[in-house]
Amino acid sequence: MNLELKKRIVKCLVWSVAMYAAETWTLRQVDRKKIEAFETWIWRRMEKISWRDKITNDDVLRRVNKERNLPNEIWQRKHRWIGYMLRHDSFLQGIFEGRMLGKRTTCTGECRCFMI
């Protein structure tokens, strides 16, 4: 099978399932490393490269003409999702902006609370 076709299949089938609801994830450095390892593992499986072959991850990425981009894709999805939430009048927009329904409390002016 052609390499470009394999990459399109991986992008369509594997990444869509692996990154389900990624915009709501809280990524720590440990999670980021695991995602990068997963991405490299998928490319190794696609090219049928064993871990015993002593081929570095950079060489694997060079073979498939790709760069590590899953963490960046997750970051982009998060920012698009936040922008979407802030453009629409919704409950989450109030949470992002610090608004709450209810009675206004006495504020000394030092805090930055916004009550509706």
The set of residues, in sequence order, having a beta carbon less than 8 Å from that of 57 and lying 6+ positions away, is: 40
pTM above 0.85, yes or no: no
Closest by CA to 48, choosing from 63, 35, 38, is 63
pLDDT digits (tens, 9 = 90+) for 57-77: 899 999 998 888 888 888 888
Give the chain's end-to-end CA distance (angstroms, integer).
60
SS3 percent helix, strand, coil of the chain, rounded to 5, is 65, 5, 35
Q: How confident is the model at residue 116 (pLDDT cuts 50, 70, 90)?
A: very low
The residues pairing with 99 across neighbouring beta strands, listed in sequence order, are 114
